[in-house]
Amino acid sequence: MSRAVGIVSASEFKRYADPATELDVVRLTNPTFASGLTAPHLRQFTKRGDAMVYWSERDGTRQIYRLDLKSGESKQLTSAGALDINNFALSPDDRYLYYFDGTTLQSVTGSAPKPRAIYKVAAGAKPSSLTVAADGSVLFVEDRRITRIALQKSGPIVEAQGTPDLVMARPRHAQLLYRQEGRLWLINTDGTARKQLSVGNENGTIGEVLWAPNGHTLLYLYIPDDPKQLITLREINPDDATDQLIARTSQFGAFSPNGDASVFAGASRSKASAYIIILLRVTRRELTVCEHRASDPAAVEVVFAPDSQSIFFTSDRHGKPAIYRVPVEKFVEETSDN
């Protein structure tokens, strides 16, 4: 087990010109060891946007680090024995980092780096699909139920027929989305008012799903059964039950909205066109930003910075999976959380 909590590693930033577009790209982590992002719907950037949390095998084990996006220094935050690299997140106020070490939900703070065990899942159950609500409560799947951990009231909020494979708190609402057997459900965080969302999946499947940053609509990739058809980006308004097309895509395997959901970053899953792309909502026009050239395009993750001025993505093009950053301020207006 790693014992190096608090150790700071020097910058590993390496800048290069993208072969396809000549835009500057910065590789943030060293590809001699694996590094990556948490799930795209989880908070990984600080509110000021000056730092982010990510996982890395820098010391030989998988641990969470805090990356200073100005200096490039990485500070180790955890000493987990069995870190779940897909389920860690910052709290809404940046005070806490939540993560699973095996079957135990842990938290650490900047002032108290020693982990605090918050909850241990039931024997035989495996936790998954962590999410953090706007009120700071932590929710996750525990076997066939969704469990909520909060100061006021904790416990299961819904018992499902099968195991949900995705749970996402709705921004600025006391609601929760979960996916089970391809169906999307919306429920209040106290377990009341559950309803199914209707989506256009009669002749296809639902790919990546994300809330718009303001929480008004739900964005998702729709993958037709016919591989000759294009993957589309669609939008559901849960309040009036409408489902509409945003745009057809260059076979996006992953996507991320910018701060006001007017622009989308996408990672093409086509090996012949292995690019990071931005899609403008108003014109439905795409623009190639850079290559990702991942050996498995389906494994690429992509996310906008909080101010919408850069895109972060993962790729193993230079060795093991690493994190990259490409500026897009020439094409995308700055946004704010206010």
DSSP string, 131-189: EE-TTS-EEEEETTEEEEE-SS--EEEEE-SS--SEEEEPTTSSEEEEEETTEEEEEET
Place of tokens 């996408």: 266
- 276 Rama class: left (phi>0) / alpha (psi -120 to 50) / beta: beta
pLDDT value of position 201: 57
317 contact partners, CB below 8 Å, separation of at least 6: 291, 292, 293, 294, 295
CA dist., res. 128 & res. 86, Å (int): 8
Asked if the structure places residue 69 within a domain, the reply is no
Asked if the structure places residue 324 within a domain, the reply is yes
Asked if the structure places residue 179 within a domain, the reply is no
Cα-to-chain-centroid distance, residue 166: 12
Q: Both tokens of residue 81? A: 């024995």
Asked if the structure places residue 252 within a domain, the reply is yes
pLDDT value of position 277: 98
Question: CA 165, 256, 65, 95: dihedral to nearest 10 degrees?
Answer: -80
Q: Which domain holds residue 254?
A: 202-338
As for how many domains the chain has, the answer is: 1
CA dist., res. 324 & res. 25, Å (int): 7
CATH number of the domain enclosing 283: 2.120.10.30
pLDDT value of position 152: 67
- The angle formed by the CA atoms of residues 205, 211 and 215, to the nearest 5 degrees, is 145
CA dist., res. 52 & res. 277, Å (int): 22
HSE, side-chain direction, 13 A CA sphere, residue 314: 21
Cα-to-chain-centroid distance, residue 214: 16
Asked if the structure places residue 285 within a domain, the reply is yes
Place of tokens 């012949």: 272
pLDDT value of position 156: 76
pLDDT value of position 1: 45
Asked if the structure places residue 187 within a domain, the reply is no
CA distances from 54 to 15, 42, 225 (A): 20, 11, 34
What residues are paired with 302 via a beta bridge?
313
Note the pLDDT tens digit of each residue in 66-116: 999 999 999 999 999 999 999 999 999 999 999 999 999 999 997 777 899
Asked if the structure places residue 104 within a domain, the reply is no
48 contact partners, CB below 8 Å, separation of at least 6: none
pLDDT value of position 200: 65
Q: Both tokens of residue 118? A: 């918050």
Give Rg (Cα) of the chain: 19
Asked if the structure places residue 45 within a domain, the reply is no
CA distances from 74 to 58, 179, 275 (A): 10, 34, 27
With a cut of 70, list the residues of the chain below it in pLDDT. 1-3, 152, 200-202, 338
